[in-house]
Amino acid sequence: VGLPNLKHLVLRENSFKTLSESITSWNELRALELTDNPINCDCHLLWLLNSINSKNLTNVQCSTPLQLRDRSLRTLTADDLGCSFSDPRQQAIIIFCLSALGLLAVLGLLLFRYRQRVREALKDYKWNKRAISRKEHEYQKTFSDDDYITRSGQHHIKPIPVTEL
């Protein structure tokens, strides 16, 4: 970046709590000295952890958080630093699963809310091989010829006498 020929960097006793990856070309360094700095070991230093492990660089001691105090950064994992979901693939899988779970929950709530209507629609579909509501059944009823003849025979027609010619 700013100092391409920098090979040895000594930052001992400078009260650094964190370091930015953009300061220099960390991968180009042959030696790095960070002892006696109150380093805050969190997810922002994952890049430094990877650099330290890939090269033979100085041993960085954590000062904070308390559960990592006096532990070497080299011995920590991404989970220890609080970067458990730093992988973009993991994030995508988690987002997809949570979205699917949310969609299933909404679908379940809708099915529960309208369970009577769903039950009636399924009954109609089951019995008639297609979804027809009960009102449509009433409008589709027709009488057979026998029913019509029987009913029309029940009404007696009385002859009306004609009194005038």
Q: Is residue 38 part of a domain?
A: yes
Determine the Cα–Cα distance for residues 103 and 96; give it in Å rounded to an integer: 10
Q: What is the pLDDT of residue 131?
A: 47
Q: Which domain holds residue 57?
A: 8-75
CA torsion sign for 35, 38, 44, 49 is positive
Q: What is the pLDDT along the chain (165 residues), one digit of tens a residue?
A: 567 778 888 888 888 888 887 777 777 778 888 888 888 888 888 888 877 766 666 678 888 888 888 888 888 888 888 876 666 787 788 899 999 999 999 999 999 999 888 888 877 766 655 545 555 555 555 655 555 555 555 556 677 777 776
Query: Do 15 and 44 fall within a single domain?
Result: yes
Cα 138–139–143 angle (5° rounding)?
Answer: 85
Could you tell me if 65 and 36 lie in one domain?
Answer: yes
User: What is the C-alpha to C-alpha distance for residues 104 and 57, in angstroms, rounded to an integer?
Assistant: 50
